Amino acid sequence: MPATPPVLLANEPGSFPHGVLAERHPAIIRQVREAFPYGPERHRALDALLASCTEGVVEPLPADAHDAGRWAAWGAGEFAGRSWFDVPWLWSESWFYRRLLHAVGYFTPGPWQGIDPFRPSKSAELDAPGTDQELGALDALAERSPDERERALLHGSLWGNRADLGFRLSAADGDTPSGTPPLVADDSEALWALLPPTGTATLCLIADNAGRELVPDLLLVAHLLTRRRIGRAVLHVKPYPYYVSDATHADVLDALRRLTSAPGAAGAHGRTLWSALTDGRLVVRAHPFSCAPLPYADMPGDLREELAGATLTVLKGDLNYRRLVGDRRWPPTTPFADVTAAFPGPVAALRTLKSDVITGLDAATEAALVAAEGQKWRTSGTHALIQVRG
């Protein structure tokens, strides 16, 4: 393995991480302000957060915050007093969402306690007419061969990470605008090989976004249970709202209701999931580490033990990928197996490319991407990967 590059910071103007802190976070604060009729106190807290995250320094959580100790262990003490731009980018982003929830009173006893500031946008996406069309497309899939169906559902889950639910049999076959293949790595055969139809496998699926990503994730789980490629699934979601649209347990229930009330194949999948939840073949977990500002290499013992017992852990999305391989600008040809060696048990990443971090490419693929797009392919979300370490 090449020398380990440093973790990404956000202190280089013009870089992708810098843009996230300098532009995306202020835009998220604007969006949250408009999401609900928060009172003056909440607006003042949002003003203070805006000033802190753009020009200020990391300030510790109030000592009586329920998770002050946890965050201290995760680095809040070490980074206090430093500019948000000078601490690891993974850390400052995570910190932003924790501070945002503090600003809107999510953890504070009172009327705003437990109100997800991102709920309006999550609901709008789930309720959009496009979702009906996409769920309707499942009926046509029922006429395809089991292998084609499976491939389409896997790709639905993969491309759902672009918040673009499409059960496209053609997803891997089309071209991006630059003429390069959409899939930059495809270990799907290895993924299927890990899940033969014996009904005994346990799948841990570490979810990412709610709505139009979570729906195809759930459909994939329903299909795997039905085909007995798995006997049990553990769905890991976030214990509180995070990275705008990350799925919480409430979002799982919303997605499930959307499915069970749909006609045709979508409704049937919804009922499969409902009964799997009631008889324990499907379990939802919200481990605190799911919102930790740390790589999975640092996961606590209880989570490590749980994932070690899984036949396969699938991690969805860009952020989970960054946490899986380390939030570093690796040479793209760094072997995926090397950077995931510390992960307990077989692991698969399903991700569209939305940040600079990438590993496991072959040299020819990297060269073609760079020739066609410079470095844009890393962050544009038009490329995706399926990587597996058995």
Ligand X SMILES: O=P(O)(O)OC[C@@]1(O)O[C@H](CO)[C@@H](O)[C@@H]1O
Count residues binding ligand X (CB under 6 A): 13
Q: To the nearest whole angstrom, how small is the minimum distance from the Cβ of residue 131 to ligand X?
A: 18
Check residue 208 for interaction with ligand X (CB under 6 A): yes
Check residue 220 for interaction with ligand X (CB under 6 A): no
Check residue 28 for interaction with ligand X (CB under 6 A): no
Nearer CB in complex with ligand X: 151/162: 162
Give the three-class secondary structure for 310: coil
Q: To the nearest whole angstrom, how small is the minimum distance from the Cβ of residue 272 to ligand X?
A: 26
Residues 349 and 191 sit within 8 Å (Cβ to Cβ) = no
Measured in degrees and rounded to the nearest 5, phi and psi for residue 58 equal: -65, 125
Q: Cα–Cα distance between 137 and 269 in angstroms, integer?
A: 13
What is the distance, to the nearest Å, from the Cα of residue 231 to the centroid of all Cα atoms in its chain? 24
Check residue 292 for interaction with ligand X (CB under 6 A): no
Q: Cα–Cα distance between 157 and 388 in angstroms, integer?
A: 15
Check residue 354 for interaction with ligand X (CB under 6 A): yes
Check residue 265 for interaction with ligand X (CB under 6 A): no
Q: To the nearest whole angstrom, how small is the minimum distance from the Cβ of residue 336 to ligand X?
A: 17
The DSSP annotation for 204-223 comes to EEE--BSTTTHHHHHHHHHH
Nearer CB in complex with ligand X: 157/161: 161
Window contacting ligand X (CB under 6 A); options: 34-42, 61-69, 99-107, 315-323: 315-323
Q: Cα–Cα distance between 321 and 339 in angstroms, integer?
A: 11
State both tokens at 16: 């992708």
Q: Amino acid identity, residue 267?
A: G
Q: Amino acid identity, residue 371?
A: A
Residue ranges in 136-195 that form contacts with ligand X under rule CB under 6 A? 161
Residues 295 and 252 sit within 8 Å (Cβ to Cβ) = no
* Member of 125, 134, 306, 318 binding ligand X (CB under 6 A): 318
Check residue 93 for interaction with ligand X (CB under 6 A): yes
Window contacting ligand X (CB under 6 A); options: 36-44, 100-108, 220-228, 316-324: 316-324
Q: To the nearest whole angstrom, how small is the minimum distance from the Cβ of residue 108 to ligand X?
A: 26
**Cα–Cα separations (whole angstroms), residue 124 to 189, 266, 270:** 35, 19, 20
Nearer CB in complex with ligand X: 208/251: 208
State both tokens at 41: 């106190």
Nearer CB in complex with ligand X: 38/91: 91
Nearer CB in complex with ligand X: 160/270: 160
* Member of 203, 205, 230, 319 binding ligand X (CB under 6 A): 319
Check residue 355 for interaction with ligand X (CB under 6 A): yes
Residue 142 class from Cβ within 10 Å (0-12 exposed, 13-18 middle, 19+ buried)? exposed
The DSSP annotation for 256-284 comes to HHHHHTS-HHHHHHHHHHHHHHHHTSEEE
Check residue 322 for interaction with ligand X (CB under 6 A): yes
Interface positions with ligand X (CB under 6 A): 20, 24, 93, 161, 208-209, 243, 317-319, 322, 354-355
